[in-house]
Structure 1
């Protein structure tokens, strides 16, 4: 398949720049993956779609303030980095700007508490940095780092927690699992009281969220690896629910990639590791029955994933409808329930 097969025309004004004050008031497009039919609701209405025979999978990763600014010690040049993946306790893979100024051995000072040295030069502006600090790394970057909003968001985020899900717990992501941004404590409480089985998995969202598909042939695209983990007890409960015929609904493409990466012969078995899973048509899903997701960038791996979950033409038709109906797109935008 060609990357251009997943293009759709999106006016700039449809890209949401700020989150709604109330997470649950986003629009919700209800999409039948078999027929392609759509209806329009408010997100909080999604509680009416779930009951005792449903299981909801949420990604509990928490976004790090992963964008940091420093000074190259040798020259005083301004440097920007984005933490993308932890390699070891003090070693990270980062995206650097301008990368050409960070050659092997270069040292960057971010604050009196934190500095780093380049230990390896990678392609596409990526570098391996070994950090120097005393204390707890996460506590230091909480003080000096900023939330790594995607490049299409130009507005400043006044409340940093609006780029975190209300159930975020395990620190490590470079971007939010944005479908989960619509959920509130109240919605989760209602679902639990209705008997919905809610389970949490972890996938630390990395560079793949920011990287566009630059190759013409979809099959030639290479995904960056991302760390995932599913607790054994959680996996056992999900496997039991699947065996009983419960509907497995994932919140967000990251939850989908976690579950599908761990699945072997219809059961979750590979419970921890690095995944480079790239889902595009005609991928056959092993575990997932339904999906709550946002509206994704044209020609992105994410729109390819949901096209595999339904049908490319039906998805693109639904996206055209979303544009006509003035849905808000991307990270702070509206939601889609595909079932």
Structure 2
């Protein structure tokens, strides 16, 4: 490993994460894009933060960078960035239209922000604004888990102006020719053949051998751009798995509802019959009781506090205010 961790980084990287940082830094120096496909739980986000910190401290490249993630992961990115590299100025691009307009005003300010974090929904809605920026690094996080991603969405991502691209995923690269064609365009922009011009058309009469040959060629062409490790590969560097089982006793109300369902004739027939759907329905009811009894037996909330309703005669109050003379 020839790339040391940046002094801006607060925390110590594991050995395999240092290898990942070195690989990402080499991709940057070679003007290459990449795919970091480590198994979930190995700290892909931390390796990306380490790369951006390295670029800031050693290359003088502070941004602006763009990170596009699922909405549920934006907070995770923010917390990890503030923990590992608090020197970065963050811009969380989400909120109401008024908030988004206010945040876009800082885009043209020098050093207004270093990293912009947004969701795929906000990216596609405000694509014109994102197209006006010259991003240093474009980080695409877990796009394979986004539903309803089509060719138009991918074309929008591929057209974003950026010097480097990095794709994060926790699964191996797919072997289907369509997905591989997308990965090839992500890794090697500027191909003579447009992205929407697939080499194999749906419903065509091309034989299976031709499709298979194209898939193999595209898969081989993407291998130098991919780094993937599994937990089995780096298990010696990971802490041993520890489990803590905490048992929670049922309340009296939960116990009564639980026993009431178990004593019902329909429940006994379902369990004896062994039908999958019927047994699953019983287990779902019991699970809801364990989560909270109100999910099965809701009851209205009561309060010991009571007060009479307050009534204001607005017209009379306004009239009295107009008739008031402070000099009398």
When normalised by structure 2's length, the TM-score is 0.24
Instruction: Write 1 or 2 for the structure with the bigger share of strand.
Output: 1
Which one has more relative contact order, counting CA pairs under 8 Å at least 6 apart?
1
Instruction: Write 1 or 2 for the structure with the bigger share of helix.
Output: 2
Bigger radius of gyration among the two:
2
